[in-house]
Chains A and B, each alone.
Chain A
Amino acid sequence: MSNEVWVVADLKLDGSIRKVTFEALSEARRKLVGKIGGNLCGVLLGSGVSNLAPELGKYGAEKVYVVDNELLKDSNPDGYTKALADLIKKYEPYIVIAGNTNLAEDYLPRVAGRVQAGLTMDSIDLDLTDDNRLKIQRYSHSSKVISTQEFLDHKPMMTTVRPNSFKPEEDQKDPEIVNESVDFNSEDIWTNVVEIKAKKSDLPPLTEADRVVSGGRGLGSEENFKYIYELAEAFDAAPGATRAAVDAGYCPYDMQVGQTGKAVSPNLYVAVAISGAIQHFSGMGSSKVIVAINKDPDAPIFKKCDYGICGDLFELLPPLTDEVKKLLQD
């Protein structure tokens, strides 16, 4: 059993590393590695990814395990499962961390099953017990409470971290590169990727965005959602929505924030024509600053926001969008 703490890099569709990977490396270095007297390591899985190793070194990785294989193209979940499980069996790390992305939610439970590890998802705090077992905090019970969870003394201990929960902080290292080859059998890869449709958008992804502008049922139509997209663009924010708006067909499901949608934790969350249901709050209640725009003075959201304007969105959004544009251009 080694004393290594691993952070598995999450890649975007364009092949670059997600910010959450740097957040995880930074927090692992600050909170875990020193105390267990171990090493911080990065893990890179993919096709044509070897050149990314120095980027992990920039955030403190002393060693980077690389599996560069054509079969790991497009973050194939079966390939990832096999590659990471094999690496874990061979090197027996102490702790394994990844970002809480759709990809991690897809393949990590399988890895944990295969290597018999404990796994928690979506941590917002990383720590160790006195006897150096991993101890994390996460939202549970429809995000009404934060649970502290401790791992048994059983390695590896695995968790994912919620994007935007930890501060990325550079700590330049010149990492040792460990190239690993994994033997894939034809049965290892079930998933045949037929087609990838990347969203055409210059806006940041919802879960990682520093700012989010969401619209609710009050928008009234798919057409009117342009008010949300325009304000989002002005703020350089990701657009989001409530389930009511998604159900009404105003926007796609991948924009849904809440208990059964995405969990976000931005610095600024602007809720437009959203009443403030508990199921919506369970996905954005940890945002640093919440702004509400609603025409109903009794809307529940006004009791749980930082700033609000009581008024009609169709009158308020155009001048607000203009003003934000002006402000952020200077």
Chain B
Amino acid sequence: MKWVLNPYDEFAVEEALRTKEQFGGEVVLVTMGPARCREALRTGLAMGADSSVHIEDDNFAFSDNYVVGKIIANEIKNLGEYDLIFTGFKIIDDESVQVGIHIAEELGIPHVALVSKVVRIDPDQKRVTCQKEIDGGHVIVDVPMPALITCPDAMNEPRYASLPGIMKAKKKPLKEVLVDDINLEALGLSRESLGKDGARVKTTSIKVPQIERKLKVITGKDNPAVKGDEIIESTHELIKLLREEAKVV
């Protein structure tokens, strides 16, 4: 069995390592991004992953999510057989939830989003049962493997890399892939479809949100904090402000 990961996310790494501890197999980290991602891969290897693949090229910067998904899916295919892929739920920088799911679509395998718990893995029937978060509750689903699972924050408690782990990680394979190594045409992509200029959605401007806050803080008279009789007065005053000034109650 093989457990593949992308993009780097400590909850996803932890979940893959636990799966390996239970069922054996191999954990391969796959990520795409600038040189600094290598740090994250080293950490993942130090936590216990077996090897890693880093797709690194400036040509990929600001690529559309579907392009990123396609290229990562292709690298995963190149790794041979696998059973589960764990990815982070969001890519923190961009708050994008898309890439993981694009990978699953590209590979033609099921995905289970926002999994709060992997309930059961059945290697014989090749099925995985998960508890996933949905609006207004949660649901238990099961899907055939191979499958992709997106891991939210707080899914587990990621382990720390131990000193021997860090030493061992230095000797573990870290494969690098550049744009020239990829047969873009075979993926239905071209150099033009990479990066910012090929994106279907382009960021044209950014601004810092400016919300003026009123900054009215009620404090105690003799002490920074309200105490005793002031308590009731302060709650009165707050309600009055919410009602008459802010008009939200």
Q: Which of B93, B97, B203 is in CB contact (< 8 Å) with A149?
A: B203
Mask for B128-162, Cβ within 8 A of A = 1, else 0?
Answer: 01000111111111111001000011110000000
A192 at the interface (CB under 8 A from B): yes
Mask for B91-134, Cβ within 8 A of A = 1, else 0?
Answer: 01111111001101110001111101000000000000100011
Complex-state Cα separation, A251 to B73, whole angstroms: 36
Is the beta-carbon distance between B95 and A139 smaller than 8 angstroms?
A: yes
User: For residue B116, which residue of chain A has the nearest CB?
Assistant: A253
Which chain A residues in 267-319 approach chain B with CB under 8 Å? 267-268, 285-286, 288-292, 295, 297, 302-312, 315-316, 319
Complex-state Cα separation, A307 to B236, whole angstroms: 13
Give every chain A residue within 8 A of B129 (Cβ-Cβ): 194
Give every chain A residue within 8 A of B171 (Cβ-Cβ): none
A216 at the interface (CB under 8 A from B): no
Knowing A113-B102, A253-B154, A259-B92, say if A150 contacts B202 (CB, 8 Å).
Answer: yes
Shortest distance between the CB of B98 and any CB in chain A (Å): 4
User: For residue B90, which residue of chain A has the nearest CB?
Assistant: A260
Which chain B residues in 66-100 approach chain A with CB under 8 Å? 66, 69, 89-90, 92-98
Q: Which of B114, B139, B216 is in CB contact (< 8 Å) with A308?
A: B216
Mask for B216-249, Cβ within 8 A of A = 1, else 0?
Answer: 1111100011110011101110110111001011
Is the beta-carbon distance between A113 and B136 smaller than 8 angstroms?
A: no
Number of A-B contacts (CB under 8 A): 259
Give every chain A residue within 8 A of B106 (Cβ-Cβ): 113
Is the beta-carbon distance between A289 and B114 smaller than 8 angstroms?
A: no
B22 at the interface (CB under 8 A from A): no
Is the beta-carbon distance between B225 and A110 smaller than 8 angstroms?
A: no
Which residue among A103, A120, A315, A328 has the maximum number of chain B CB atoms within 10 Å of its CB?
A: A315
Is the beta-carbon distance between B98 and A119 smaller than 8 angstroms?
A: yes
Shortest distance between the CB of B206 and any CB in chain A (Å): 5
Complex-state Cα separation, A110 to B139, whole angstroms: 20
Give every chain A residue within 8 A of B116 (Cβ-Cβ): 253
Interface range, A side? 35 or more
Interface size on B, residues (CB 8 A): 80
SS of A interface (majority): mixed
Is the beta-carbon distance between A199 and B238 smaller than 8 angstroms?
A: no
Q: Which of A120, A256, A319 is in CB contact (< 8 Å) with B231?
A: A319
Give every chain A residue within 8 A of B134 (Cβ-Cβ): 13, 75, 102-103, 196
Give every chain B residue within 8 A of A116 (Cβ-Cβ): 66
A141 at the interface (CB under 8 A from B): yes
Interface residues of B (CB under 8 A from A): 64-66, 69, 89-90, 92-98, 101-102, 104-106, 110-114, 116, 129, 133-144, 147, 152-155, 199-209, 211, 213-220, 224-227, 230-232, 234-236, 238-239, 241-243, 246, 248-249
Interface residues of A (CB under 8 A from B): 10, 12-13, 18, 74-75, 77-78, 101-103, 105-106, 109-110, 112-114, 116-122, 135, 139-152, 154, 190-199, 205, 207, 211, 235, 243, 246-247, 253-254, 256, 259-261, 267-268, 285-286, 288-292, 295, 297, 302-312, 315-316, 319-320, 323-324, 327-328
7 additional A-B residue pairs with CB within 8 Å, beyond A120-B201, A253-B153: A13-B135, A112-B98, A113-B106, A306-B216, A306-B246, A310-B225, A311-B230
Can you identify 29 A-B contacts, CB atoms within 8 angstroms?
A: A13-B137, A105-B113, A113-B102, A114-B105, A121-B98, A135-B204, A139-B209, A145-B209, A147-B203, A149-B201, A150-B204, A151-B201, A151-B202, A152-B199, A197-B138, A205-B136, A207-B135, A259-B95, A267-B248, A289-B242, A292-B217, A297-B225, A306-B215, A306-B246, A310-B220, A316-B234, A320-B239, A323-B239, A327-B239
